[in-house]
């Protein structure tokens, strides 16, 4: 069964560094999402993406964040200058229809 | 505002006990979807069920069952004869449509279930 994949599974970075988290959505899906989960807390929506543009973003998704679909398969989340509070699990999701979302296994980002 | 409340932060049961996880939601939409996800210690989000607002039939899948009641805005999840492998954090979520053709999930804070042998 096709699934969403994410790399790396764990990323450690220094404060102020740029990170790129990568996701490969399910191949025939059209809608893409990023969510974040700070350790021990709930999962929070960051951004949704459709037709090569952001369709919605939350207030968490400030100018430090950007998303891109650089080719036909990858969907990336870039954090330009990481802060300690960006440490979290980042989940990518994709869907073919609006009423479903399939999550990847997550990337744990640790900012030191 | 749309919101999901999981009032139970942590529940601890002994194996073979039945346990119910509560979920109360708020929305003004007439069409909406509700979800349950399981997050085991390994961290991934495992999809369990999706229900739409027009289908109030209860659902059973093996030891899992769900009780959807629009009158009380609740979508509760029961595990019958719990097992140690059920130990996880369980999230209830509401799909919020953004007015276009896409939506995003609003999650509750989760309930951590510990099943002891």
Q: What are residue A67's DSSP bridge partners?
A: A77
Q: How many CB atoms lie within 10 A of CB B80?
A: 14
Mean pLDDT, chain A, rounded, equals: 94
Q: How far apart are CA B27 and CA B32, in angstroms?
A: 8
**Is B31 an interface residue toward A (CB < 8 Å)?**
no
Q: Does residue A8 have a cis bond before it (omega within 30 degrees)? A: yes
Phi and psi torsions of B6, nearest 5°: -115, 100
**Is A64 an interface residue toward B (CB < 8 Å)?**
no
| N-to-C CA span, chain A | 37
Measured between beta carbons, which residues in chain B are less than 8 angstroms from residue A29?
none
Per residue in A37-88, pLDDT tens? 999 899 999 999 998 899 999 999 999 999 999 887 899 999 999 999 999 9
Count of A–B CB contacts within 8 Å? Answer: 59
Q: How many CB atoms lie within 10 A of CB B115?
A: 20
Q: For position A71, what pLDDT does the model report?
A: 86
CB contact under 8 A, B107 and A106: no
Mean pLDDT of each 10-residue bin along chain B, 117 residues long: 95 97 94 94 92 86 93 96 97 84 89 97
Measured in residues, chain A has a length of 112
Measured between beta carbons, which residues in chain A are less than 8 angstroms from residue B47?
102-103
CB contact under 8 A, B45 and A43: yes
Measured between beta carbons, which residues in chain B are less than 8 angstroms from residue A106?
43-45
């Amino acid at each position: 069964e096709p699934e969403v994949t994410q790399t790396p599974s764990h990323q450690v970075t220094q404060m102020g560094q740029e990170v790129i988290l990568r996701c490969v959505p399910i191949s025939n899906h059209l809608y893409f999402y990023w969510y974040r989960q700070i350790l021990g807390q709930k999962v929070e929506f960051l951004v949704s993406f459709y037709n090569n543009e952001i369709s919605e973003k939350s207030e968490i998704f400030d100018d430090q964040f950007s998303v891109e679909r650089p080719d036909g398969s990858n969907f990336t989340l870039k954090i330009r200058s990481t802060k300690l509070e960006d440490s979290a699990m980042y989940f990518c999701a994709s869907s073919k229809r609006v009423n479903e979302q399939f999550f990847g296994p997550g990337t744990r980002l640790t900012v030191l | 505002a749309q919101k999901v409340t999981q009032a139970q932060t942590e529940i601890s049961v002994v194996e073979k006990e039945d346990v119910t996880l509560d979920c109360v939601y708020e929305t003004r939409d007439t069409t909406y979807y509700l979800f349950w996800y399981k997050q085991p210690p390994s961290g991934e989000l495992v999809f369990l069920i999706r229900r739409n607002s027009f289908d109030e039939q209860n659902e059973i899948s093996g030891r899992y069952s769900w009780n959807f009641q629009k009158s009380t805005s609740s979508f509760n999840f029961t595990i019958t004869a719990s097992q140690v492998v059920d130990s996880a954090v369980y999230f209830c979520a509401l799909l919020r449509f953004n007015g276009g053709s896409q939506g995003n999930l609003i999650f509750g804070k989760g309930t951590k279930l510990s099943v002891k042998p």
